Homo-oligomer: A and B are copies of this chain.
Amino acid sequence: MQSLSTENYLKAIYHAAQFREGTVATTSIANKIGAKPSSVTDMFKKLADHNLVEYEKYKGVTLTTDGVKKALHIIRKHRLWESFLVSHLNFSWDEVHQVAEQLEHIQSEKLTNELDRFLDYPTHDPHGDPIPNRALFMKTHNKILLLDLPLNKEGVCVGVKDNSSDFLRYLDRRQIGIGTPILILHREEYDQSLHIQAGNSTLMITEKTAENIYVKP
């Protein structure tokens, strides 16, 4: 039991569970997957039959230990492939996701582990997200939102919350990327905009942008 669809559901449930405590709701998965809630209900039952989630009618699901393992395994593959595409195939960070969505379903332990070795066991993908290692363990940065960075305290960009191409390309234009040092120079009370120093240039960003960038203080 590990169809493409099943794997996508497990991953979606895993990611949804990161956002909030408790169970994952039918509609939240329906939105992520792009399916109708009734289809999600069907799949929840199927996953429960295979002991990948615990499901209680009208109450949503939580991943079982097995479910988490499978999800992390897909995420491992997804992020390793994203890393490969950027480091060796000239992809930019806003192009990799769509292809990794396909590559993450390739089934071959040897392929996954050799790719990991070939990339020299990367710990983070091009978006700053942690890559589970072979034992499915990942260490996360203790990152905060740029919005919450104290004034005049330097941080380094270590990730993004919004992974959309639009946002990533916007950051490219502003010359902000993983590793860029950022300092908040001034907070504008009137419209919550921020004057920041990013790398060598100073620029203004909106609150919305600031709450989609992760920094390590």
Binding site for B on A (CB under 8 A): 85, 88-91, 95, 98-99, 102-103, 106-108, 110-111, 114-115, 118
Contact = CB atoms under 8 A, between A and B. Distances in A.
Contacts of A99: 106, 108, 110-111
A162 to B, nearest CB: 23
Given A98-B108, A99-B106, 7 more contacts: A88-B118, A91-B110, A95-B110, A99-B108, A99-B111, A102-B107, A106-B106
User: Could you tell me the dominant secondary structure of chain A's interface residues?
Assistant: helix
Given A95-B110, A110-B95, A115 B103 contact: no
Contacts of A91: 110, 114
Copies of this chain = 2
What 3 A-B pairs are tightest by C-beta distance, nearest first?
A89-B114, A99-B108, A102-B106
Nearest to A111: B99
A107 B99 CA distance: 8
B103 A90 contact: no
21 contacts: A85-B111, A88-B118, A89-B110, A89-B111, A89-B114, A89-B115, A89-B118, A90-B114, A91-B110, A91-B114, A95-B110, A98-B108, A99-B106, A99-B108, A99-B110, A99-B111, A102-B106, A102-B107, A102-B108, A103-B106, A106-B106
Nearest to A99: B108
A85 B110 CA distance: 10
Contacts of A114: 89-91
A126 to B, nearest CB: 15
Residue from A99, A107, A108, A114 having most chain B Cβ neighbours under 10 A: A108
Contacts of A106: 99, 102-103, 106
Nearest to A4: B4
Residue from A106, A107, A115 having most chain B Cβ neighbours under 10 A: A106
A107 B102 CA distance: 8
Contacts of A108: 98-99, 102
